Amino acid sequence: MSEDIQRKLQTELDGFKNNQKELQKAIATRQQLDGQLNENEIVKKELDLLPADGKVYKSVGPVLIKTDLVEAKQNVGKRMDFINKEVKRVDEQIISLEKRQDSHRETLQKLQHQFEQAQVKAAIHA
């Protein structure tokens, strides 16, 4: 009986740990996206400050390539849209992972309780 619970406890604990790892990964991704979004926002502000005939270059490897200002603005805007979508996706992921984490924690507590009870019972029988 107690071995059975112990096995269940172990499986549950493994699941909990895996979930925790995934959650940490998702949080790291979220922070990275936040940084990217911030950087793009700053670039957009700078591009908006430039005069209409301002010259903009894009670095591609070791060279600077001249770019159209309007095109550059559009590109940054598109990238921000994309990052915003990613942020939403990761946020949802984090919420669902947190929910799963809570349910794991609950089951773990229940199993631990059962395990302790079984041990007490075994001690009485012995």
Partner 1 sequence: MAQISSVEQPNMKQIDLTTLSVPQLTALKQQLDQELNLFQESLTSLKMAQGKFQNSGETLEKINPESEGKEILVPLTGSMYVPGKLMDTQKVIIDIGTRYYAEKDLDTAKDYFQRKTKFVTEQMEKIQILGLEKSRIRDTIVEILELKLKQKQN
Query: Comparing C-alpha atoms, which of 3, 10, 2, 1 is closest to residue 108?
Result: 10
Task: With H, G, I as helix, E, B as strand and everything else as coil, classify residue 63.
Answer: strand
Quick one: which segment of 3-11, 59-67, 85-93, 112-120 binds partner 1 (CB under 8 A)? 59-67
Question: Whose Cβ is closer to partner 1: residue 49's or residue 124's?
Answer: 49
In terms of Cβ atoms closer than 10 Å to its own Cβ (0-12, 13-18, 19+), residue 13 is: middle
Quick one: which segment of 12-20, 35-43, 107-115, 117-125 binds partner 1 (CB under 8 A)? 35-43
By CB under 8 A, name the binding residues for partner 1. 39-40, 42-43, 46-47, 50, 54-60, 64, 67, 72, 76, 79
